[in-house]
């Protein structure tokens, strides 16, 4: 087995500040498929990772290195002595795969990740019932009022509602973080067959249970299209969405 070698990476260095509970779903996204081990994964066979399995912050570099390797062509990775590609390349490749135009590929990681979150959310709107749209707008909190979504958002034209969501995501702060939480929970449901465990924070988690379905379907549909062949994008797409959530959590200094 080729050892996991982490490449210093400004897009992933913040993982050192994540706690065990934050990193656990990322490990499962990388190492497992619907609860079963991935034969392409090296992480859970790494002796150093096994030693730190109960304290994942000590293994954050190994976790990041596994993601970097999924982002690289496996043959190329062999000639790099097990090293993969930087997260920026992974993130922009994911966006390209999902047909998200990135005008500035050198933009801040959070800015590109917000475009990824926006794509998933706006695609999901087409699959939502009127009741789910109501719940989604409620999840925006005060931002819904600021955007003028009014008392009957389900009656808005889909394009207008999607535009409002993009504006809400672009505002940053807690509302953006809340949307990232909703997407991360849907990723976990779609990929791991379970939602994330959150502490009791009604303002943060409002709408999560209702929205996991349509957003999860949008994510599942993305992962099953023919162009997403082989294991790499089936791992890097949900991993990038989950990392987008972790970064927003870090930026908002949420205590969960």
Summarize pLDDT for 17-36 with one digit per residue, the tens.
Answer: 999 999 999 999 998 755 44
Tell me what the mean pLDDT of segment 40-67 comes to: 89
Main-chain phi, psi angles of 35, to 5 degrees: 90, -5
Sorted by sequence, the CB contacts under 8 Å of residue 155 that are 6+ apart come out as none
- 79: confidence class by pLDDT, cuts 50, 70, 90: very low
Q: pLDDT-derived band of residue 63, with 50, 70 and 90 as boundaries?
A: very high
| More confident position, 240 or 127 | 240
Given this model, what pLDDT does residue 206 score? Answer: 56
**What pLDDT is attached to residue 126?**
75
The mean pLDDT of 119-144, rounded to a whole number, is: 74
Q: How many CB atoms lie within 10 A of CB 40?
A: 17
Residue pair 60/23 in contact (Cβ under 8 Å)? The answer is yes
Check pLDDT > 70 for residue 249. Answer: yes
Mean pLDDT of the chain: 78
- pLDDT at site 74: 40
Which residue intervals of the chain are DSSP H helices? Answer: 20-31, 47-51, 60-70, 74-79, 87-97, 109-125, 130-139, 142-146, 158-170, 173-192, 202-205, 208-224, 230-252
181-218 pLDDT, tens digit each: 888 888 888 888 887 776 545 555 555 555 566 666 66
Distance CA 218, CA 166 (A): 17
Q: In this structure, what are the phi and psi dihedrals at residue 37, rounded to the nearest 5 degrees?
A: -65, 145
- pLDDT of residue 255 exceeding 70: no
Neighbours of 14 (CB within 10 A): 18
CA 237 from centroid of its chain's CA atoms: 7
Residue 142 tokens, joined? 């005060």
- Top pLDDT among 45 and 219 is at 45
The predicted structure's pLDDT at residue 11: 97
State the average pLDDT over residues 112-134.
83
The widest CA-to-CA distance across the chain, in whole angstroms, is 58
Q: What is the pLDDT of residue 169?
A: 75
pLDDT, tens digit, 9 for 90 and up, residues 152-190: 666 666 677 777 777 777 777 777 887 888 888 888 888
Q: What is the pTM of this model?
A: 0.84
Q: Is 182 left (phi over 0), alpha (psi -120 to 50) or beta?
A: alpha
The residue that leads in pLDDT, 82 or 136, is 136
Query: Residue 78: pLDDT above 70?
Result: no
pLDDT at 2 over 70: no
Dihedral sign for Cα atoms in the order 193, 88, 233, 165: positive
Backbone dihedral angles phi then psi of residue 36, each to the nearest 5 degrees = -105, 150
At residue 37, does pLDDT exceed 50?
A: no
- pLDDT tens digit string along 83-114? 689 999 999 989 988 889 988 888 999 999 99
Q: Where are the domains of the chain?
A: 13-252
Separation of alpha carbons 219 and 123, rounded Å: 9
């Amino acid at each position: 087995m080729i050892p996991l070698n982490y490449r210093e990476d400004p897009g992933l260095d913040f993982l050192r500040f994540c706690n065990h509970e934050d990193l656990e779903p990322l490990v499962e996204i990388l190492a497992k498929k619907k609860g079963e081990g991935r034969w392409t994964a090296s992480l859970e066979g790494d002796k150093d990772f096994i030693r730190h399995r109960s304290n994942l912050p000590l293994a954050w570099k190994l976790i990041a290195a596994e993601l970097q390797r999924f982002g690289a062509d496996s043959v190329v990775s062999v000639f790099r002595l097990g090293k993969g590609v930087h997260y920026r390349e992974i993130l922009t490749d994911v966006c390209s795969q999902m047909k998200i135009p990135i005008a500035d590929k050198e933009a801040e990681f959070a800015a590109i990740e917000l475009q990824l979150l926006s794509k998933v959310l706006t695609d999901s709107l087409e699959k939502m019932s009127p009741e789910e749209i109501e719940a989604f707008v409620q999840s925006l909190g005060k931002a819904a009022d600021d955007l003028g979504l009014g008392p009957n958002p389900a009656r808005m034209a889909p394009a207008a509602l999607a535009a409002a969501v993009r504006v809400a995501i672009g505002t940053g702060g807690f509302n953006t973080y809340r949307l990232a939480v909703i997407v991360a929970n849907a990723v976990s449901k779609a990929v791991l067959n379970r939602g994330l465990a959150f502490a009791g924070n009604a303002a943060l988690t409002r709408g999560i249970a209702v929205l996991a379905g349509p957003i999860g379907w949008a994510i599942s549909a993305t992962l099953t299209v023919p162009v997403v062949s082989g294991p790499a994008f089936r791992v890097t797409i949900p991993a990038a969405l989950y990392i987008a959530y972790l970064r927003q959590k870090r930026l908002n200094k949420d205590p969960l």
